[in-house]
Structure 1
């Protein structure tokens, strides 16, 4: 059956987007037309329309362009993982906003009785500050998991290194954690894609991933060789623990770790 083709203007009207948006998505590699006329005009198909709807849906949910690319590339399994992260983040934000709204409503009621009640206003400020508290970690790990994480940390880093990490962590917010999780999820999706096509760990695609991988690790270690070794110790010690006793799951399989090590070793040789 012949495919139905649409010129840019037709396709833009059908999808309720601007022609400028379509050109931008083509430029950044999100959505390229399926063909061109002899005069060089873009032609889109129904399949392009479905891909555009996916892009718009993910954009509406707050995904960045790079995250959208990763979701479309890895397929449903990677998309489910990304949506789960996004869902958790939005639910957390909703709970924060609900508490702030409740405090605001209580303050409004109090100010109807006493317009000079500054304690009510200070209460709102305190509630907002509490929602930004750096104790967010406790919401994701129970007491037992936190204790095991501390034991792993003590076995992997020196006390001086632990103090350095703790000092840096004072400015590391929940939003930073969500962003880091998204970034690692994106890199993990690319890792799975490369392994699925039997890519060479020393090849250009894997080495591009290695560069991003090293940059993410460096953002944590700050280039400190001791902390870098401690990070390796941490995951080594985590891997030695019985699976049921681990405070967090190992992020990669043995095969994936092997690919990662080969990829990073090749990157170090080339740089």
Structure 2
């Protein structure tokens, strides 16, 4: 066992970092002395090494916590996802460099002076690159058949009013998708962990996951009843599709879906 200072020295981190990880529930000491001093073990050192490795790979502390609680199999999946996202980020940086190069060329050819506020040509360059990025992003993740399926689902599920309201929002980008993947990934990891632990759907932890899920749905619907109803129709229609026609795999196993159904019932009873 190691006192905090000894453990920090052994792990090459600051005492402040250890206390912060303890406070956010990421890494707590194995024991405490009778006087209340923290004591860390070699197992804690292994966990800390995993935390530092994932942090270096670009994971947030919230994502790291989900990875540690979900086990090696899920960690393998998340690492693959993180690698893909990092490659996308590299592509985005290349696009930004491209935008800078083309902007410099425009400035040179048209003798524009940024100080004069003549940004129209520059904005056109950036908008063209962004449109190309968004189109490439959609084509990268979905085949033409999958895009057609999702289009048909939307036309079948969303009312004209809901579709018009969504069309008026700004375009959904791959950065938006990245954030959404992280947020929904945390919900999915929470459900998997709770089911693996045999947790009660009525437990406070289970209800916290459902609350997080409902907050994400509300973020999309923005409290609009028509969009909310259309979204529910979309998922009902999606679930009726044959497995081979679904654009993406099911998020949950049958056991996890059963857990979610019970947890939703409890949530509805408690929140009306």
Q: For each residue in 1:216-271, what CA deviation from the matched residue of structure 2 results, as whole angstroms up to 9, or x when unmatched?
A: 11111122233222222212212222211222222223332232222112111101
Q: If the length of structure 2 is used for normalisation, what is the TM-score?
A: 0.85
CA contact (8 A) 1:99 1:127 kept: no
Q: CA deviation at 1:187?
A: 0.6
Matching residue of 1:176:
176
1-structure distance, mates of 2:83, 2:256: 27
Name the count of aligned residue pairs.
Answer: 262
- Aligned residue among 2, 6, 12 for 1:10: 6
Q: 1:106 to 1:232 in 2, by over 3 A?
A: closer
- Aligned residue among 84, 89, 94 for 1:93: 89
Matching residue of 1:38:
34
Confirm or deny that 1:52 pairs with 2:52: no
CA contact (8 A) 2:4 2:15 kept: yes
Q: 1:117 to 1:137 in 2, by over 3 A?
A: same
Q: For each residue in 1:172-224, what CA deviation from the matched residue of structure 2 results, as whole angstroms up to 9, or x when unmatched?
A: 33212111111111111111111122222222221111111111111111222
Give the 5 Å matches for 1:230-245: 230-245=230-245
Q: For each residue in 1:87-123, what CA deviation from the matched residue of structure 2 results, as whole angstroms up to 9, or x when unmatched?
A: 1211011122234435656888x79xxx943479999
2-structure distance, mates of 1:139, 1:119: 37
Q: 1:119 to 1:71 in 2, by over 3 A?
A: farther
Unaligned runs of 5+ in 2: none
Q: CA deviation at 1:125?
A: 6.5
Q: CA deviation at 1:139?
A: 2.9
Matching residue of 1:150:
151
Matching residue of 2:186:
186
2-structure distance, mates of 1:103, 1:142: 28
The answer to which of 150-159 and 217-226 deviates more is: 217-226
Unaligned runs of 5+ in 1: none
Confirm or deny that 1:250 pairs with 2:250: yes
Q: If the length of structure 1 is used for normalisation, what is the TM-score?
A: 0.85
Give the 5 Å matches for 1:71-150: 71-101=67-97, 116-118=108-110, 128-133=126-131, 134-135=134-135, 136-150=137-151
2-structure distance, mates of 1:130, 1:33: 53
Q: CA deviation at 1:14?
A: 1.6
